[in-house]
Structure 1
Amino acid sequence: MAYYIDGFPGREIFVEGKKYLYFGGTSYLGLQTDAEFKDHFIRNVRKYGTNYGASRKSNVRLTIYERAESLLAHIAGCPAALTLSSGYLAGQFVAQNFNSPEYKLFYAPNTHSALYNKYNKPFSTFSELNQAIRDHLKHDAKIIPVVFMDSIDFIGNNYPGFKGLKNLPLDRIILIVDDSHGIGIIGNNGEGVYKTLQKSHVKELIVCCSLGKGFGIQAGAVLGSHKRMEQLGGTAFFGGASPAAPSVMATFIDAQHIYGSKRVKLGYNMDYFEKSVKHIDFFNRIREHPTYSFKSPQLADSLDKNGFILTNFNYPDESSEVMSRIVLSSHHTESDIDALSDCLDSFI
């Protein structure tokens, strides 16, 4: 069921005059409704304007982009970063870069469509993926395998253990990971998965991501080596696309203290929720991540009838399986979580 509302959904939303508690979406830190965060953004809009429709390769260049990219690379623990106007564009930017005869593209299970090049289909299991890569290397070792995957698959097969990667010939693979649901959220400082995956000694690691979920800004990014970022930054794709608005880049820099305090609050809310729900193992959950997935249309209906709206729709398209997910955010209160926990305990 689709709900039409007239404002950004915070911890509460109103549908046809009825108030619901909202436990869905991807605003993990509750930034889009946070007064201090919005004040930073509004101040930066006044300074930088609402949009910047010029190329990053123009002869007139704003320094805010390089400053934000340097900070992002520092947070993620990687050599360099590039920003774009969205996470989806960042994924397509990287995917199209490797769509050439010198590479062979492989897709891990549950890879997001942002990384697809045309009509790619992910493997059903990592065992199948492993076998396909090794068969390819036996027949044509000169063509480099490129593996695409998501860091957070909402099942737990990838982050935090990345068990499926351990049997792959990583030293011969370029690994491209979408960390849209991890960066800004997981790790001590919201660094995401770059430093974790770098320890696997992969041939080359590239991480792309949305900055909207964890950092609350309309932008995307690519993280990797200086050499790769220089190569990507020199492409027509990068030069021909308008960048993210400079006001959001400035807000990313200004809001670092807010991100830290919001992550602390999110961690508290997760701990409180998991201690409050009697049958927490009913849900698929991932360490450090505020999402709790389940497959029960009856539970989703019960929550709706009792005044809760969560993530519950066919994703990414109408032919896909229904995705039912409770999402905690930093803006939820203890009373919100108590109400949700009571409703869950009465059903499960």
Structure 2
Amino acid sequence: MASKVYTDQLPGRTLVVEGEEFLFFSGTSYLGIPVNEAFRNCVLEGMARYGTNYSSSRNSNLQLRVFEETEEYLARYTGAEAAFTMSSGYLAGQALVQALQGSGHFIYAPNTHPALWRSTADEVTGDYDAWVGPMLQKLQGLQEEHVILVCNSLDPLKARNHGFSWLSALPANKQITLIVDDSHGFGVTGEDGNGVYTQLKARLQPNVRLVVASSMGKALGIPAGVVLGDKELVDKLRHSHYFGGASPAIPAYLYAFLKCESVFQEAREKLYANIAYFLAHLERPGQFSYFERYPVFGVREHRLAAYLQEHGVIISSFRYPTPADDPITRVILNSAHTEQDIRRLTELINHFDRP
């Protein structure tokens, strides 16, 4: 495992540490949006119009159209009936689960993000695939008519795309709400980066209600969160104290989000090209865990992180979720990387792995 580094600079394709420049293959900014010049210019346009923040309630007698315009766009973009934004993915997740608290029996999949916990008692560890069978058995024996299943769309730590083949096995005699956290897929996976909502909605039985919660701060680089679902649920969220009592997302960023559809598209295409280039230049891609068109590559040999850092490349490597746990090591690509950056990375990986 590599040693910790400290810096005062925002990382993009590179990172400067104590005057030395490193290639940076870590973080969750998959589309490189925070260092994208066109996006930054749109944020500045938004700030010229809306200021640096909107320090008021969404229930105020002053209504900024950009909130409604963004939510209408997000619903169209994802195929959802309605969308609900807040200032962070964490807050959006809390607004959702607290609104459903007391309405049914919650079942959590392993490693669901704390944003969707009602309390620390909801933490579940273990393997997702091993969870599915017992969960389906438990569902059959529950007396409660309404069950709320909470899970992630994918595992960004182990670079695994979760299978949802079990959806067809859900019992038809219960009302089921399926909450999926798509924070690490939204903006990258799905059609034009629209995430998992449409894909899952098409596979659900009539008795299953789909809700997708997501941070917009990963691939999309927007400090906001979104909940996607049916209009009845979104209206319920709008009447919660979370909606009225919390400051909303920063309008300047929502303005930039609406203006930068082509910027996101171009960044996605560049990311997919970078992924293909990386795989094409690895001598043994099987040494990584990964799935198609996703920029995270799980590393099985943790010594690689220290080796790369010695040669001017920083990847993700840290013990998770606590300092007592095993390290999780990953190579993470983003849209800002050049072919030269990736070629340097693959040359080092290939040299490290040779007998």
Fold equivalence (TM over 0.5): yes
Q: In the alignment, which of 27, 30, 34 is matched to residue 28 of structure 1?
A: 30
**In structure 2, what is the equivalent of residue 107 of structure 1?**
108
The answer as to whether partners of 1:157 and 1:164 remain within 8 angstroms in 2 is no
Structure 1 residues 237, 275: closer, same or farther in 2, change over 3 A?
A: same
Please say if residues 109 and 124 of structure 2, whose CA atoms lie closer than 8 Å, have aligned partners that are also in contact.
Answer: yes
CA deviation digits over 1:143-198, x for unaligned, max 9? x1111111121346544x42454544377421101101111111231110000111
Alignment of 1:41-56 (within 5 A): 41-56=43-58
Where 2:155 maps in the other structure, the secondary structure is coil
Tell me which residue corresponds to 1:5: 7
Shift of residue 260 of structure 1?
0.7
Structure 1 residue matching 2:84: 3-state secondary structure: strand
243-252 or 290-299, which deviates more: 290-299
For residues 332 and 176 of structure 1, the distance between their equivalents in structure 2, rounded to whole angstroms, comes to 34
Aligned Cα RMSD in Å?
1.8
Supply the AA of the counterpart residue of 2:266.
S
* Offset of residue 132 of structure 1: 4.3
Match of 1:93 in 2: 95
- Identity of counterpart residues, as a percentage? 36
Is the alpha carbon distance of 1:31 and 1:128 closer, same or farther for their aligned partners in structure 2, counting shifts above 3 Å? closer
Q: 1:323 to 1:252 in 2, by over 3 A?
A: same
Q: Give 1:197's aligned residue.
A: 200
- Kept in 2, the 8 Å contact 1:107–1:123? The answer is no
Q: Does 1:334 align with 2:339?
A: yes
- Paired residue for 2:350, among 340, 345, 348? 345
1:314 equivalent to 2:316? Answer no
Give the CA deviation at 1:296: 2.2
Q: How does 1:1-348 map to 2 (within 5 A)?
A: 1-100=3-102, 102-119=103-120, 120-122=122-124, 124=126, 125-132=128-135, 134-142=137-145, 144-154=146-156, 155=158, 158-159=161-162, 161-169=163-171, 172-202=175-205, 203-348=208-353
State TM-score, norm by structure 2. 0.92
Distance 1:262 1:139, change over 3 A: closer
- Cα contact 1:283–1:294 (8 A) shared by 2: yes
CA 66–321 in structure 1, closer or farther in 2 if over 3 Å, else same: farther
Displacement of 1:320: 4.0
The verdict on how the C-alpha distance between 1:32 and 1:90 changes in structure 2, with shifts beyond 3 A counting, is same
Length-normalised TM-score, structure 1: 0.94
- The count of residues paired between Structure 1 and Structure 2 equals 345
Q: Secondary structure at the match of 1:326?
A: strand
Cα 1:295–1:6 shift into 2, 3 Å:
same
Structure 2: which 5+ runs fail to align? none
2: CA distance, partners of 1:95 / 1:327: 31
Q: CA deviation at 1:301?
A: 1.1
Name the aligned partner's letter for residue 212 of structure 1.
G
Once the two structures are superposed, residues 238-288 of structure 1 have per-residue CA deviations (whole angstroms, 9 ceiling, x without a partner) of 211110111111010011110011111111111111111111111110222
Deviation at 1:91, TM superposition (A): 1.6
